[in-house]
A and B are shown apart, each in its own frame.
Chain A
């Protein structure tokens, strides 16, 4: 069951069993295949993803070809930024191993993110934690490229 899989995710460690069940109810779990394009740069976002099993590569088109930005493993949430700022996808995400992925459709995301329910508070904090980690990682890359070291 998806709620039991989410229980092991660092993002949801403070969720109760009931809250995990509710969160899982807003998501669809499915298999992903190696090489499957989950998110395409510049497309309009329609869902959020959580890697349950397997690996997902994040890349972005640059002037000199595709640039890999990150490799995401189980427990990673991705596809957040475009849902939050209503812009286009900033990167392409491709499954690099067969595995399992959970998807939350945009409508469910919007409802949960804007809701006043206790579950929404925890979900919002999980989003903040994921973004904090992503920004930290990207800042490291940025500074290493700009300053070296």
Chain B
């Protein structure tokens, strides 16, 4: 599947920076199509993973389980991604990811990222800076939610928490959906 650079850039501006279409091409070539169906599991929490998922069309739902409960964290819409951590450092996937609708995503594997860094360092640098910016925001968000202070309004914490679901969810939007 050839991905249109203009469409990808519109969906993921932070991952593309000011790269020209020619500079963006190696990244688009490295992405692997991942269509998904309603209810299909794209990623299993705890299973080994070495790839990130970037949503192009449709929606996916993130779920997380503890020994006591399974909860939905939110919904990712086009332009959002998940599983960036195993892309950077392969390991256990953080969340279950299910198709909430039929849709299309692309994946980037750790191996392909290594090849991109080796063969197209400028493209990889811009892409990684986008991922780093997102991780950095996510870390701040976690800290705000874990230790709300007088300086942290519930609105700010809720806004910060939006990284999880792709929507602006307040912390109490982590709703148990079933007993595990």
Q: Which of A61, A131, A147 makes the CB contact (< 8 A) with B69?
A: A147
A63 to B90: give the CA distance in the assembly, Å.
36
What string of 1s and 0s marks CB contacts (under 8 Å) between B109-147 and chain A?
Answer: 000000001000110110011011101111110110111
A85 to B139: give the CA distance in the assembly, Å.
11
A132 touches B136 (CB 8 A): no
Q: Tell me if B's interface is mostly helix, strand, loop or mixed.
A: helix
With A116-B122, A147-B174: A128-B132 Cβ-Cβ less than 8 Å: yes
Q: Which of A67, A135, A146, A148 makes the CB contact (< 8 A) with B85?
A: A135
In the complex, whether B178 has a CB less than 8 A from a CB of chain A is no
What string of 1s and 0s marks CB contacts (under 8 Å) between B137-180 and chain A?
Answer: 11110110111111000000000000000000001001010000
B124 touches A121 (CB 8 A): yes
B142 touches A142 (CB 8 A): yes
Which residue from chain A places its CB closest to the CB of B174 in the assembled complex? A146
Contacts of A138 in B (CB 8 A): 139, 142-143, 146
Using C-beta atoms within 8 Å of the partner chain, give the interface range for chain B. 35 or more
Contacts of B138 in A (CB 8 A): 135, 139
Which residue from chain A places its CB closest to the CB of B113 in the assembled complex? A125
Using C-beta atoms within 8 Å of the partner chain, give the interface range for chain A. 35 or more
In the complex, whether B96 has a CB less than 8 A from a CB of chain A is no
Name which of B85, B146, B176 has the most chain A CB atoms within 10 A of its CB. Answer: B146
B150 touches A63 (CB 8 A): yes
With A121-B125, A136-B94, A149-B67: A87-B147 Cβ-Cβ less than 8 Å: no
Name which of B68, B133, B136 has the most chain A CB atoms within 10 A of its CB. Answer: B136
In the complex, whether B88 has a CB less than 8 A from a CB of chain A is yes
In the complex, whether B30 has a CB less than 8 A from a CB of chain A is no
Contacts of B145 in A (CB 8 A): 142
Contacts of A146 in B (CB 8 A): 71, 171, 174
Contacts of A118 in B (CB 8 A): 121
With A147-B69, A149-B66: A131-B136 Cβ-Cβ less than 8 Å: yes
What string of 1s and 0s marks CB contacts (under 8 Å) between A64-85 and chain B?
Answer: 0001010000000000110011
Q: List 6 A-B contacts (CB under 8 A).
A: A60-B149, A62-B148, A84-B132, A85-B133, A90-B143, A128-B131
Other than the known A120-B125, A124-B128, A128-B88, what 17 A-B pairs have Cβ atoms closer than 8 Å? A60-B146, A61-B149, A62-B147, A62-B149, A67-B147, A69-B146, A90-B139, A91-B143, A116-B121, A121-B121, A121-B125, A134-B139, A138-B142, A139-B94, A141-B146, A144-B66, A148-B68
